[in-house]
Structure 1
Amino acid sequence: MSMSLHQKNKTVVNTIPIFKSWVPEWMIKAILFILLLPSIVLFFIPITNIPAAAGYYGSEPADMQFSVALFYAGYVGFYSLERRFFNYLAAREYFILFTFLLMLTTWVCYYTHEVYIFFPIRFVQGLLFASTVNLALSLMFTRLKNERAREISFSVFFGLLICALPFNNLVTANLIDSFNFNIIYKGALYSYLPSLILLPLTMNRIRLNVRFPLYKLDWQSFSLYSIGLVLIGYIFIFGQEYYWLTDKRIRYSCMGLLFLSILFILRQRAMKHPYIDLRIFRSRSFKAGLMILFVMYICRFVSGITNTYFTAILGFDPIHVSYINLFNLGGLILGTIISCWMVIQKRNIRFIWSIGFIFLLIFHIILFFHTDAQADEFNYFIPLFIQGFGVGLIMVPTIIYSISSVATSRSTSAAAVSLAIRYLGFCSSIALINYFELYGKSQHYNTFQDHLTVLDSPVKAHLQHQSNMLIENGLHAELSSKAAHKLLINSLHKQDQLRFAMDYYELIAWIIVGILLLIALSPYLSKTIIRLRSKNLSPA
């Protein structure tokens, strides 16, 4: 029987080398790294220094958090649809197209001051980031011949992703301190130029897959899915600020999300080729992996509270905080390396999860007992390293475990849902922090007010002592009393911040204890190992 046209095309694609013969292996790896790095840096730029970003755009801190959620929503929503474009265009053409568009959106971010122009651009950047990830990892995976190499590649990519926030803080702290906030986008714009020059010169004009025409694009599912993700981000980030369902914006958003969710599920069940194959939820291991991934992402962003504590209570400047977070960055890198080694050595998933969450539990216990109004920075070096190490241990094995627990034909849907759960974990962590910060702080402040009045002898003595100190330092006697009262209020606000942080550390510690018990009491995890079964496995 003669070979079909489809088979002929597939044979051609698989036999032509992707990169030109004169390009050494080390250069290929460097080019792929240069391709990924600028987009990963773009991911968390608005929250590297929230006060500076919010001041530049004349907006609230929550708006900057929402801009990251929009980027994330674009990445998650477009992930499944992007593969159609990836299969349609040749790799080199595709790379030039989305890199040019990324540079264009970065240029717009550099010049705009309006947050309502900034928001849609951030969503578009998320769409383009999905293209960057798929192309870079597909180029990487086509060169890997064994399972060990694929596991290492997953570890490298996700290691870069979880290191993005502390790395961004380190790189941008000095720039923001010396220039306007938008200088970061100018740097990101120029950072795309090396890969834009190198990849077209080193790549052959071939396709990684057989060309698949762009007809019957499921843009309806993409729209339902993406709008729902944006609504999740809006509800979780602004919910506490607007007092949840008492505000019509949050109420209508919840109603819209419910309607879109029902419509999306019904559509996927009715379609022959669904956008997200819901049969992946039949796997018990997949659902367990999603739960662990969700909790890990909530634990990961506790670092935001720690950084706020450093700046608001201890008075460290952003540059100083970025240097302290080098210990967290070192923990993330070491944890990712060791988790990769454990996966290669076929350690069971229960052992890896248990060790990772024990380290996270230790971090939260230490921070609960060592959070104080006055402290030395070196007291937090080891806890920050421990937190990064725990996150690094859990992240990569959990994603590989979740994706590999379903049939290979459904791995794309598994990767997309794993990505959505990480987005949900990011938004949930912001919602929890906002709740404890806005509601918890006010509750503690009212409690302090009930027990502290100017009629109390200790309070009167404290105010008199502060007033005398101010007079001795040259302040006029008539102003010293008002200044002493203001200093007392500032002290109360610091105590509110401390109590809110301690409450949050305690909550997460109890959640981790519950997860450790579930892991220990799940018998089917005792002999479960994780492995990548196919070199065509979809990366998330």
Structure 2
Amino acid sequence: MAQSIYFNAWISRHPGLARGFLILILFAGIAQFASFAVIQAHVISFYGAQPEDISFALQISYAGIIATLPLQFRMVRYFNTRSYLLTAFLAGILLNIGLFSVHDIVLFSVLRFFTGVVTCIIAGCMLIVIFTTIPEPKRMLVGISLFFSLILTSGLIVGLGTAWVVMRMDWTEVYYGLIALQVMAILLCLLIFKPKPAFKPYPLYQTDWYGSFLFMFAAVATAFVMIYGPRQYWFADSLIRYTAVFAAALFALFLFRQATLKRPLIDLRVFRSGKFIFALLLMVLFFGMKDSINLVYGYSVLALGWSASDVVNSGLYNIAGAFIGTFIAAKVILAKKQNLPLLLLAGFAVLFYYHVWVYAHLTPSLSLAELRIPIFLQGFGSGLLFVPITVFCVVSVPQSTGMTAIVICAYARFIAVLNSIAGFYTMQLSYNRQFKDNLQGKLIPENDIFLQRLELYKGLFVSRGYTPGEATGISNMLITKSSALQSQLLTIRAIFLVGAILMAAAFLVLIAFAVVNKIKAAGNKKKMAMA
């Protein structure tokens, strides 16, 4: 790294310190993207919005990221790196000031989209620069491990700070913390980067700006359909129906352009690889079920009465699991790349056990000591899978396709997260209604258990000085509340059972995939020997 094209001479002599500074800059860049996940209730109150409005505003940031990502890998090779990052962080500061100032949910969503654009500029630039600090044989694996492990855990890391703020002051002070992080990043950029990097700018001619705009509007429309669709009974609502047609038409135009242009944003030849498609399906499944951890956090708030601070503190076990899993995955792959299938099997096995544990042990009175087991397991399983699946995707395509594999992985994550939002909401709605109707059918005078519980509550309240009428009313209210909680717990258990089945299916498919590949390899070896 002594001859780095990006860094000043003094930092080039300390690669470990340089990586540490780069990770801090990267964290400052993605912090504003992940800043509201833990405090959505405060954001909803501040903007006077519905939960789905805030969910859309958060996901539209990811639409900004994936719309910018293909362009970013070209622009980073054209612009002066230090000036490029300084401009992005200054834009981020202005966006935070705007987010703090506006109270309209539409303006908030627009600003969040541009927050995603800024996040992509910083994160994409950091990915390229981090790669240059790592020796060539380990570059892809270690770089991806550093980069994606921080992205995987950034929400909870940022949540530590936001939870501390909301417990002690007005939640909008979070914006000042984000601005302070961005100022720190600006100072680090001035400190470590050369005023003019030692590389020849790569021209931006024939860049598909039109295709980028097509994809941008298609991604935003898709997010709208997937978030608002379940709440509007999908295509029964005309707005959802027209928006879905609009998104499909734009995606079709985008794919047509990519197939016909000489220099497309993404190289569609990657889909000729069966291994890449298989790896992509694994990624979609992984990210689609990864967010089941949010049901655990939601349970801890609903059933156990935890605060945002309690949730974030329990999330430390998840962060620890993710870092340990990522470290093990990177070490195992560096030792022998053929260990990749074993890591995938181990990761899905851990996530299978995590889903089974929650299904088997969920009760209205779990303690933190008990909950830290599934929370850690989810992080550990995710750490074992995240890097191997990403590496599997990247190595399954020719090097001539450039960064297309990473871009399509980002697309897959976006779709998987939207699918999990819509899927978990729909499953909760369906299962909750089913269990609630079943429980309410048993709350009748002919049910001995119901009568015993009602009499127990009435006797307790009468002994505390309530009149018989008041005691009956409060008792009925408590039983109704208890049945609602019970139906929600049964719903979560049902969803985790579905998750366990999907993880088991992935495990079995991976075994079948490995067996088929071995048979093919043995057949090819036999043909070569005969030739």
Per the normalisation by structure 1, the TM-score is 0.91
What's the counterpart of residue 374 of structure 1?
365
How far apart are residue 150 of structure 1 and its match?
3.9
| Equivalent residues in 2 for 1:366-445, closer than 5 Å | 366-445=357-436
Matched, 1:218 2:203: no
Matched residue SS, 2:434 = helix
Matched, 1:95 2:76: no
- Kept in 1, the 8 Å contact 2:207–2:263? The answer is no
Matched residue SS, 2:9 = coil
What's the counterpart of residue 481 of structure 1?
472
| Equivalent residues in 2 for 1:331-350, closer than 5 Å | 331-346=321-336, 347-350=338-341
> For 2:486 and 2:211, how far apart are their aligned partners in 1?
48
How far apart are residue 455 of structure 1 and its match?
4.4
Match of 1:453 among 436, 440, 444: 444
Match of 2:308 among 300, 307, 318: 318
What's the counterpart of residue 81 of structure 1?
71
Matched residue SS, 2:403 = helix
- Kept in 1, the 8 Å contact 2:214–2:250? The answer is yes
| Equivalent residues in 2 for 1:118-197, closer than 5 Å | 118-197=108-187
Alpha-carbon spacing, 1:508–1:16, altered in 2? closer, same or farther (3 Å): closer
Deviation string 1:257-305 (CA, Å, 9 cap, x unpaired) is: 2211221122212211112211110011111111111111122111100
How far apart are residue 112 of structure 1 and its match?
2.2
> For 2:210 and 2:462, how far apart are their aligned partners in 1?
70
- Kept in 2, the 8 Å contact 1:99–1:192? The answer is yes
Alpha-carbon spacing, 1:361–1:436, altered in 2? closer, same or farther (3 Å): same
> For 2:446 and 2:66, how far apart are their aligned partners in 1?
57
Q: Higher relative CO (CA 8 A, sep ≥ 6), structure 1 or 2? A: 1
> For 2:395 and 2:274, how far apart are their aligned partners in 1?
12
Matched, 1:19 2:4: no
- The one-letter code sitting in structure 2 at the alignment partner of 1:318 is A
The 10-residue stretch of structure 1 (487-496 or 217-226) with the greater mean CA deviation from structure 2: 217-226
Alpha-carbon spacing, 1:124–1:208, altered in 2? closer, same or farther (3 Å): farther
How many equivalent residue pairs? 516
Matched residue SS, 2:77 = helix
Matched residue SS, 1:275 = coil
Deviation string 1:31-64 (CA, Å, 9 cap, x unpaired) is: 2122111222222222212222212221122222
> For 2:62 and 2:173, how far apart are their aligned partners in 1?
22
Alpha-carbon spacing, 1:374–1:201, altered in 2? closer, same or farther (3 Å): closer
What's the counterpart of residue 96 of structure 2?
106
- The one-letter code sitting in structure 1 at the alignment partner of 2:25 is L
> For 2:10 and 2:27, how far apart are their aligned partners in 1?
24
Unaligned 5+ segments in structure 2 are 521-531
- The one-letter code sitting in structure 2 at the alignment partner of 1:500 is T
Matched residue SS, 1:87 = coil
What's the counterpart of residue 319 of structure 2?
329
Percentage of identical aligned residues: 23
Matched residue SS, 1:88 = coil
The 10-residue stretch of structure 1 (322-331 or 116-125) with the greater mean CA deviation from structure 2: 322-331
> For 2:495 and 2:7, how far apart are their aligned partners in 1?
50
- The one-letter code sitting in structure 2 at the alignment partner of 1:271 is L
- The one-letter code sitting in structure 2 at the alignment partner of 1:359 is V
- The one-letter code sitting in structure 1 at the alignment partner of 2:88 is F
> For 1:236 and 1:149, how far apart are their aligned partners in 2?
37
What's the counterpart of residue 29 of structure 1?
19
How far apart are residue 524 of structure 1 and its match?
5.0
How far apart are residue 476 of structure 1 and its match?
4.2
What's the counterpart of residue 529 of structure 2?
none
Per the normalisation by structure 2, the TM-score is 0.93
Matched residue SS, 1:516 = helix
Matched residue SS, 2:134 = coil
RMSD: 2.1
How far apart are residue 245 of structure 1 and its match?
1.0
> For 2:208 and 2:197, how far apart are their aligned partners in 1?
22
Alpha-carbon spacing, 1:209–1:63, altered in 2? closer, same or farther (3 Å): farther
> For 2:334 and 2:152, how far apart are their aligned partners in 1?
20
> For 1:243 and 1:46, how far apart are their aligned partners in 2?
27
Matched, 1:281 2:271: yes
- Kept in 1, the 8 Å contact 2:134–2:142? The answer is no
- Kept in 2, the 8 Å contact 1:46–1:64? The answer is no
- Kept in 1, the 8 Å contact 2:300–2:311? The answer is yes
Deviation string 1:213-234 (CA, Å, 9 cap, x unpaired) is: 4444422111111111112222
How far apart are residue 525 of structure 1 and its match?
4.9
- The one-letter code sitting in structure 2 at the alignment partner of 1:264 is F
> For 2:198 and 2:313, how far apart are their aligned partners in 1?
42
- Kept in 2, the 8 Å contact 1:91–1:208? The answer is no
The 10-residue stretch of structure 1 (379-388 or 70-79) with the greater mean CA deviation from structure 2: 379-388
- The one-letter code sitting in structure 1 at the alignment partner of 2:496 is Y
Match of 2:353 among 362, 367, 379: 362
- Kept in 2, the 8 Å contact 1:109–1:182? The answer is no
- The one-letter code sitting in structure 1 at the alignment partner of 2:332 is M
Match of 2:511 among 494, 509, 520: 520
Alpha-carbon spacing, 1:352–1:27, altered in 2? closer, same or farther (3 Å): closer
What's the counterpart of residue 303 of structure 1?
293
Matched residue SS, 1:156 = helix
What's the counterpart of residue 469 of structure 1?
460
What's the counterpart of residue 526 of structure 2?
none
What's the counterpart of residue 525 of structure 2?
none
Unaligned 5+ segments in structure 1 are 1-13, 529-540
